[in-house]
Amino acid sequence: MRRPAFYSRSPRTLPPAAEQAADEADAPASPDAAASAAPNTSTRTGWQPGRRSFALLIVLSAALVTGAALWAPRPGSKVLTQKDIDAAVLRTLQTNTLPSPAAKAADIIRPSVVRVVSYGEEKNTPEARLQKRGRNLAKGKPPDAASPPGEVERGVGTGVVIVDKGVILTNLHVIAGADKIKVTFFDGLEAVATITGVQPENDLAVLQAQKVPDDLIPATMRSTADLRPGDQVAAVGFPFGIGPSVSAGVVSGLNRSFRSPEGKQELGNLIQFDAAANPGNSGGPLINMDGEVLGIVTAILNPTQQRTFIGIGFAVPIENAASAAGSPPF
């Protein structure tokens, strides 16, 4: 294939000597003079069209040969097939322990979960006495050890941050009658909180923390419209003040009703679940496996007076909880 000519970019004006040579070339000359005037190509050092393109072609050819040598399979090496890749992935899954769905969900919601403590005159209700015994046992104290003087913890529960400015959802019975409320955030920051709203018919209260962490992460709320019995859920909170603790289970039923042991209040349209919950879980989030809040844990059913979990818990749907905080429903 004929190679196109390269053209120099230098001016086409010839120097005087070159003009004289050109004039002489135009004049008639004898064959001997023409032979003697022929240039010696072996000693010519000027530009020769095609030399640069030829050099570039050599470099490109060398690069292609080198690349082919690098990527070509070595003698005796095995070419990977899709079957080999699938086997390697399966071997990795078998030899490495992956986090459970509940563990991943808990990691998502944990920065939004807070410990809620109400202070004031110590209550003498069965639930208050049970919480006190649980707190004492968790601290290595005798079950009936007296509370220290000063601020008396009258109730411990859980809350969940729904707005990054420090708006927290919890249960009304956790903070009812308290002289002072404190919340402890995920990073350990402790702050005083005030009640900004209540919804007694759903046992809900809204708190506003006076101080919040700089990087506070609010929870994501999820509609319960497509929730079904058998869906996996987890309860995150501070049972007996210990936590944050995580328990996993499934939705046992929907649209349930619950009457308090004293018979003073009946709650309706509740989510029934079997993830373990105990005093202190109240006000905490019930979440799906994406870490989204489906409801607020509010009660457990126990036909005895022990107030401990035997397999049936209840949560207020997040639609009701969001309306308590003034957020629009889904």
Pick from 208, 252, 217, 212: nearest CA to 233: 252
DSSP state of 140: T
What does the block give as tokens for 300? 């457990």
Asked if residue 236 lies in contact with residue 113, where contact means CB atoms within 8 angstroms, the answer is yes
Residue with tokens 């290595």: 140
Q: Which residues are annotated as catalytic?
A: 173, 203, 282
What does the block give as tokens for 159? 């809350």
Q: How many helices (H) and strands (E) does the chain have?
A: 8, 12
Query: What does the alpha-carbon distance between residue 293 and residue 319 come to, in Å, rounded to a whole number?
Result: 10
CB-based burial of residue 87 (10 Å sphere; 0-12 exposed, 13-18 middle, 19+ buried)? Answer: exposed
